[in-house]
Amino acid sequence: MDVKIEESWKTVLQQEFEQPYFTELTSFVRDEYRNHAVFPPGNAIFNAFNLCPFHQVKVVIIGQDPYHGPGQAHGLCFSVQPGVDFPPSLRNIFKEIHADLGIPIPPNGDLTRWAKQGVLLLNATLTVRAHQAGSHQKKGWETFTDAVIKLVSAQREHVVFLLWGAYAQQKKLLIDASKHLLLESVHPSPLSASRGFFGNHHFSQCNQYLAAHGENPIHW
């Protein structure tokens, strides 16, 4: 199957694209876009990959579902398009960055600048029906994104995985902790942020690890 995705990812994921589950997933997603309002826009489904080639991945942040409100999702977990109000979790992420590194809270919630520095902003499910959280779960996306995590773990070195909340932490079973850094905390959601997301210092720890292994730190 010819999937429109950045070339280095196309090479490493070609076997996944040939699997029966991915054919079924593609058929499901096409029907959903044809018959319903679905986010993100079709040309942004693989934005996380297109902005962050495989050989440039330094950090992986794992989310769950795209935002399901109009104009929010654009293919990067936690990120929203310019001009859109910060969702609560993203606001808390910026608050922790400010407390940890002193970086001012930015004017918009578009995390494209992170992706271009090597941060893979990966949702476990890459599409969602409008106003129906979780509507595209268990259709095949998780199989695909689990394969992505395994490939990064197996073929890259010294990657930082930021695992926020119980869902993301389940993915640590896919990661070789002997050659990567796994940073875990509760989710940045307002329901849990005060129980250990605030004060986790993940952003400074990430940059210290990258620098120790000869990589440029991320300008959060």
Contact assessment for residue 157 and residue 179, using Cβ atoms and an 8 Å cutoff: yes
Q: What does the pLDDT look like over 25-49, one tens digit per residue?
A: 999 999 999 999 999 999 999 999 9
* Per-residue pLDDT, 108: 96
Percent of the chain whose predicted confidence (pLDDT) is above 70: 100
What is the tens place of the pLDDT at every residue in 55-105?
Answer: 999 999 999 999 999 999 999 999 999 999 999 999 999 999 999 999 999
C-alpha torsion sign, points 32, 111, 107, 190 = positive
Q: Which pLDDT does position 129 carry in this prediction?
A: 98
pLDDT, tens digit, 9 for 90 and up, residues 192-210: 999 999 999 999 999 999 9
User: Which residue out of 2, 31, 65, 85 is catalytically annotated?
Assistant: 65
What is the reported pLDDT for 1? Answer: 77
How confident is the model at residue 123, as a pLDDT? 98
Q: Supply the pLDDT for residue 131.
A: 96
162-198: buried (b, 16+ CB within 10 Å) or exposed (e) per residue? bbbbeebbebbebbeeeebbbbbbbbbeeebbeeebb
Q: Is 31 considered catalytic here? A: no
pLDDT at 2: 83
What is the model's pLDDT at position 170? 98
